[in-house]
Amino acid sequence: MARQSRKHSLPAGVLPTAHKDAAEDVGSHVRPKAPSPPTQEGLRTHDLPVETPAEQARSLVDQLIALGPNEIAPVVRRLLPLGNFALEEIAKNFPGPLWRPSLATDSRLPRPEEISAAAAALATFEGEAIPYLARLMRDSSSQVRYYAAVICGAYANPDLIEPLVQVSLDEDRECRRVALHLLSAYQHEPTFRSAIGELRRCASDIAQPLPVRRRAISALTQLRDETSAPLFVDLLADSDRGIATACRVGLRVLTAHDFGFARDPWLRWLAERGNEIRIQWLIEGLGDSRANIRLLASRELWHLTRFLQPLSETAGRDEFLVAQRNYQRWWTRHHPE
């Protein structure tokens, strides 16, 4: 969260009082007698019990969650020195009253300081908050899981890969959408490959519930994991038709080819082209006889290379073949044998 500063009016009685009317006889006032210093017994009588850090955190968070965006900075500054005591209380009250609910039509994920006081405060703790975010992403409430995942967008930390992979299997579609969107930024991290391996194991594990397996296949597809193509070919023979269908869709997206549900043609294709990288598969797909495959290849190539704008749905096959030749020349220039 960006640090905020705001001038607050001082409480009544702090500012000096205005001068009396100048016409008044100032000499007529008698200076009050200074109060006697309190006795030791009086001090003991009026001493307030000292709050523990946990109690301080609880009191401050109770104040925090009722505040607006421009009011939280002083309370957050008092919470920061309390460390885990503060984080524990913020997590208990997360996300709290929302300043503006996130909408499915939003073009970007909201930042923590746009969500709620608890979200803004949590992100202020930076790396210290990551274990709490990971815990919140396992909460029983889909709203808590969703906003915890959204806050992860304020970070660039590989420690979030494993928790986000777990959310990519969440039963809530919006939680999955956010997790997969954020995971795509970690594809070059070493721990990303092991996390992808967990998704593959989940997809192939017949002991897992079928919905979870299908979500794993969908996650691998949306993350464009080309190394999952052989697994998808194997799972075309799965006894559950939903698993086989998800794998066929995944193969179509990854390869820009479609040989149906039969494994043999896919296995022959993998034997011939499986050692190539995905861009080469997509370039080949530009020449497919089916318009939907050509369109898919064109859009995926644009996303990966930003070389040629994707062709429209009304474009004829000849235009795709021209684009294919241009991509082949581009590939040869940039990846000489």
pLDDT 10s digits, 142-190: 999 999 999 999 999 999 999 999 999 999 999 999 999 999 999 999 9
How far is 258 from 261, CA to CA, in rounded Å? 9
Give tens-digit pLDDT for 264-308. Answer: 999 999 999 999 999 999 999 999 999 999 999 999 999 999 999
Domain boundary among 275, 294, 328: 275
Confidence (pLDDT) at 84: 97
Q: Which residues touch 293 (CB under 8 Å, ≥6 apart)?
A: 252, 256, 257, 258, 285
pTM of the model: 0.82
335 — pLDDT class (breaks 50, 70, 90):
confident
How far is 61 from 283, CA to CA, in rounded Å? 56
First to last CA, the chain: 48
* Domain assignment of residue 253, yes or no: yes
Domain boundary among 226, 243, 275: 275
* Domain assignment of residue 168, yes or no: no
Count of domains forming the chain:
3
Return the SS3 of 209: coil
Q: How far is CA 36 from the centre of its chain?
A: 61
Residue 64: how many other CB atoms lie within 10 Å: 26
Q: What Å distances lie between residue 151 and 16, 24, 38, 109, CA to CA?
A: 44, 62, 51, 9
Nearest to 305 by CA among 337, 322, 272, 328: 328
How far is 77 from 74, CA to CA, in rounded Å? 5
For all residues of the chain together, what is the average pLDDT?
A: 88
* Residues 300 and 289 occupy one common structural domain: yes
Q: Provide the CATH number for the domain around residue 268.
A: 1.25.10
Confidence (pLDDT) at 39: 56
* Residues 219 and 281 occupy one common structural domain: no
How far is 95 from 80, CA to CA, in rounded Å? 18
The domain containing residue 337 runs over which residues? 276-337
Give tens-digit pLDDT for 20-78. Answer: 344 444 433 343 444 555 555 555 545 557 889 999 999 999 999 999 999 999 999 99
How far is 151 from 165, CA to CA, in rounded Å? 15
Confidence (pLDDT) at 41: 54
Residue 337 has pLDDT above 90, yes or no: no
Q: Residue 123 burial by CB count (10 A; 0-12/13-18/19+): exposed, middle or buried?
A: buried
* Domain assignment of residue 292, yes or no: yes
How far is 178 from 103, CA to CA, in rounded Å? 12
